[in-house]
């Protein structure tokens, strides 16, 4: 589907032919979805042949529904004719994206967007160029993500956490994947139930299968969504996903995915000091308990200051950082240990087509996130 025809473009501004593509957006019905769809409808260039909204609210039935209004989803008029809504069943973003691309039909490219991003003003035109430049072995083309931060103050801990998406590799906030490549490796791994590591897992499996991944030129904004004061505590559940990644990809996956290691070793040290202090107290060894308690206090204070120092340092922010800095280390350790148990028998997904991608007509290149632009 294309937008209403206007004057023919000059040769200097003529767009390259773009392969047919579908857009898949998993959603929990957040208000940000409307801003995402409005930006998608405004941008000049070829519209998607299909827009698949995957409603992942687990309170709804699992049957598909063609009418977005029946799900309470507001879709701009320009996109309504190509929009289909299916249910994800509340199984998380990986399963939701699988449901979406499989419902999109036989289109060669699937563009995954999050429901809280805003495509740039020339997004569709830039996407056309990104896909037209992709080689036969290119499985995916990522966008350039920006995270707007407050201009008049230092960002909070949660805002800084979100800002890390701007430099993350292979994030599906805006990433176009070739359908053939998705089919060859079986799509996303449904065992990743949170919006964490499921994108890196897919990218590593594609690279291992011989595909390339590239960086495109289109731009997408990822605003910081509202969050409560305990959001940093809930995100510690991702430590279990890190265990799953190690089971599936080996211990070197951190380097291959350019993923930051985080503070888990320090969290274990701080939590161990707290446990040791409690044990020494119970055994009637006050001096040893005091030493261990001092180590716990020093580690907790260092962690809290590391989070407070770059932030706005308001009274509310300092109070939240102090409280969560006490709770995060044991929470991180608990989720890591839980992951060891839950994923103790995890095995890598089997490839659907072991032959891999088609051969290239030019000499082999390193399979990295190389830009598609000249």
Q: For the residues 245-266, what does the mean pLDDT come to?
A: 94
Q: What pLDDT was estimated at residue 231? A: 96
Instruction: Assess whether pLDDT exceeds 50 at residue 101.
Output: yes
User: How far apart, in whole angstroms, are the C-alpha atoms of residue 86 and residue 299?
Assistant: 47
Q: Which of 339, 357, 316, 7 is nearest to 193 (CA)?
A: 339
Alpha helices in 164-197 (DSSP H): 179-185
- Residue 254 burial (CB < 10 Å; 0-12/13-18/19+)? middle
pLDDT digit string, tens, across residues 211-221: 999 999 999 99
What is the pTM assigned to this prediction? 0.87
**Could you give the percent of the chain with pLDDT greater than 90?**
79
Domains of the chain: 11-227+349-371 (3.90.550.10), 228-343 (no CATH)
Closest Cα to residue 94, out of 163, 243, 194, 10?
Answer: 194
State mean pLDDT over 77-104. Answer: 93
| CB-CB contact of 224 with 159 (8 Å) | yes
> For 276, how many CA atoms within 13 A lie in the half-sphere containing its CB?
17
Confidence of residue 186 (pLDDT cuts 50, 70, 90): very high
Backbone angles phi, psi at 84, to 5 degrees: -130, 140
pLDDT tens digit sequence for 108-157: 999 999 999 999 999 999 999 999 999 999 999 999 999 999 999 999 99
Query: What per-residue confidence (pLDDT) applies to 19?
Result: 74
Tell me the pLDDT band of 355, cut-offs 50, 70 and 90.
Answer: low
Are 141 and 175 in contact, with CB atoms under 8 Å apart? yes
Pairing outcome for strands 212-221 and 118-119: antiparallel
276: helix, strand or coil: helix
Q: Name the least confident of 14-18, 190-194, 228-232, 274-278.
A: 14-18
Q: If you search the block for the tokens 């001092």, which residue do you land on? A: 294
What is the H or E stretch that residue 145 is in?
strand 138-146
Average pLDDT over residues 39-65: 82
Q: Answer whether 213's CB lies under 8 Å from 170's CB.
A: yes
Q: Do 247 and 342 form a contact (C-beta atoms < 8 A)?
A: no
């Amino acid at each position: 589907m294309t937008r209403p025809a206007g004057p023919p473009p000059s040769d200097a501004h003529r767009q390259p032919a773009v392969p047919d593509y579908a857009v898949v957006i998993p959603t929990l019905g957040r208000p940000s979805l409307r801003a995402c769809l409005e930006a998608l409808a405004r941008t000049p260039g070829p519209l998607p042949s299909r827009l698949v909204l995957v409603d992942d609210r687990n309170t709804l039935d699992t049957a598909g529904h063609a009418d977005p209004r029946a799900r309470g989803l507001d879709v701009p008029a320009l996109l309504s004719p190509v929009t289909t809504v299916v249910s994800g069943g509340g199984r998380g973003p990986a399963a939701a994206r699988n449901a979406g691309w499989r419902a999109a039909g036989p289109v060669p490219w699937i563009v995954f967007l999050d429901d809280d991003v805003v495509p740039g003003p020339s997004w569709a035109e830039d996407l056309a160029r990104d896909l037209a430049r992709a080689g036969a072995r290119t499985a995916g083309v990522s966008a350039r993500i920006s995270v707007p931060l407050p201009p008049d103050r230092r960002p909070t801990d949660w805002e800084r956490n979100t800002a890390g998406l701007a430099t993350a590799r292979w994030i599906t906030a805006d990433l176009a994947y070739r359908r053939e490549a998705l089919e060859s490796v079986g799509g996303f791994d449904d065992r990743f139930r949170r919006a964490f590591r499921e994108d890196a897992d897919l990218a590593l499996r594609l690279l291992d299968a011989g595909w390339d991944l590239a960086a495109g030129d289109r731009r997408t904004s990822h605003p910081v969504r509202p969050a409560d004061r305990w959001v940093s505590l809930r995100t510690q559940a991702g430590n279990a996903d890190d265990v799953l990644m190690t089971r599936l990809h080996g211990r070197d996956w951190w380097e291959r995915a350019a993923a930051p290691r985080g503070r888990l070793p320090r969290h274990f040290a701080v939590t161990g000091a707290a446990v040791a202090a409690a044990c020494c107290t119970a055994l009637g060894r006050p001096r040893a308990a005091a030493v261990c308690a001092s180590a716990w206090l020093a580690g907790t204070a260092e962690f809290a200051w590391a989070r407070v120092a770059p932030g706005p340092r308001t009274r509310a922010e300092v109070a939240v950082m102090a409280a969560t800095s006490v709770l995060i280390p044991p929470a991180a350790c608990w989720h890591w240990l839980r992951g060891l148990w839950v994923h103790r028998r995890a095995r890598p997904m089997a490839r659907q087509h072991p032959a891999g991608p088609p051969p290239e007509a030019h000499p082999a290149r390193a399979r990295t996130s190389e830009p598609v632009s000249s």
